[in-house]
């Protein structure tokens, strides 16, 4: 199924067709944007079964969670955001690069951008590609200007539309309301676990990781996705995909 929720209304903001949580489509999309074929997106069938996790190449450089936006989640998000300042970071010194989502139904693309732009994955973006140019232009900018740049990068919109239109299920309209959302977990240049979500006030530092711990290590899972799912209770309408080495 597709996955998305929307940012606060913004007059004139563009809209994307919601992106299906399909690893094959996501892999094609990131390669089209300029990520090396050495990386791919993989289904995560279990977060706790070692045998199932063993099918995913390690290290896992990013983890994307797709989940229903529940009243419990919204309450937690608003309570946490109410105690946070609006993020104003910019420049190479940031431990992670983060974009605020201003494009309707674009949280799948936002999750992928966050996944490939942070940690070791950033070093596997091909010079001169769409992703390389976006990163180089975005990094010096504060969040509002980054979002404006993203809105005005036609190569991103074109690649997203092609991927979103090629899913296994009929693609919703770009203006539809969809109750599923993407959140990305990555390891920052400071070695910490970060939660990246364009709907939030900024990137959220969730805790310290050891040098040998990736996004599927027990500590990363306990600080990130498992804590998230524990809070959500019995709703099983979630899925997860990981950015890791290609199996080819």
Catalytic residue annotation? 107, 181
Concatenate the DSSP letters of all residues of 142-173 into one string.
Answer: -HHHHHHHHHT-HHHHHHHHHHHTTSSSPPPP
Cα dihedral 146→122→197→143 (10° resolution): -20
Q: How far, rounded to the nearest angstrom, does the alpha carbon of residue 53 sit from its chain's CA centroid?
A: 20
Concatenate the DSSP letters of all residues of 162-223 into one string.
Answer: HHHTTSSSPPPPTT----EEEEEEEE-TTSEEEEE-TTSSS-EEEEE--TT--TTSHHHHHH
Q: How many CB atoms lie within 10 A of CB 194?
A: 25
Omega of the bond prior to 59 within 30 degrees of 0, cis?
yes
Radius of gyration, alpha carbons of the chain: 17
């Amino acid at each position: 199924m597709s996955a998305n929720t929307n940012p606060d209304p913004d007059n004139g903001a563009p809209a994307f067709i919601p992106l299906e949580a399909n690893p094959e489509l996501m892999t094609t999309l990131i390669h089209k944007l300029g990520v090396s074929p050495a990386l791919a997106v993989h289904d995560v069938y279990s977060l706790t079964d070692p045998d199932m996790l063993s099918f995913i190449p390690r290290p896992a450089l990013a983890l994307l969670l797709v989940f229903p936006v529940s009243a419990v989640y919204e309450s937690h998000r608003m309570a946490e955001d109410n105690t946070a300042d609006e993020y104003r970071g910019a420049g190479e010194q940031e431990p992670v690069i983060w974009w605020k989502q201003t494009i309707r139904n674009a949280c799948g693309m936002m999750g992928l951008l966050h996944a490939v732009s942070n940690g070791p994955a950033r070093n596997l973006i091909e010079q001169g590609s769409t992703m390389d140019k976006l990163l180089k232009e975005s990094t010096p900018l504060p969040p509002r200007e980054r979002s404006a740049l993203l809105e005005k990068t036609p190569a991103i919109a074109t690649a997203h539309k092609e991927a979103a239109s090629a899913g296994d299920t009929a693609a919703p309209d770009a203006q539809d309301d969809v109750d599923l959302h993407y959140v990305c977990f990555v390891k920052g240049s400071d070695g910490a676990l970060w939660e990246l979500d364009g709907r939030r006030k900024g990137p959220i530092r969730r805790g310290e990781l050891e040098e040998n711990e990736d996004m599927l290590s027990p500590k990363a899972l306990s600080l990130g996705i498992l804590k998230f799912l524990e809070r959500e209770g019995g709703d099983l309408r979630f899925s997860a995909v990981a950015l890791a080495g290609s199996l080819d």
